[in-house]
Amino acid sequence: PGPAAAPDPDEHGRGLGIVTALSARCGVHTGPGGTHRWAEVLAG
């Protein structure tokens, strides 16, 4: 599942949407140690 959309004019909850928009790839891994989110951002 992707990040939920933040209702306007909410000032919080947009971080993952920004990361998704700026990254080449991103994802989530859930395991025994918790949930880890990752993103690859292209340099240049």
Q: If you search the block for the tokens 């004019």, which residue do you land on?
A: 9
Contact 15, 8 (CB under 8 A): no
User: The whole model's pTM is what?
Assistant: 0.56
The beta-strand segments (E) located in the chain are: 25-31, 34-40
Domain that holds residue 21: 1-44
- Averaged pLDDT score across all residues of the chain: 82
- pLDDT (average), residues 27-40: 93
Tally the domains of the chain: 1
Residues 25, 35: Cα–Cα separation, whole Å? 17
In degrees and rounded to multiples of 5, residue 18 shows phi and psi of: -65, -45
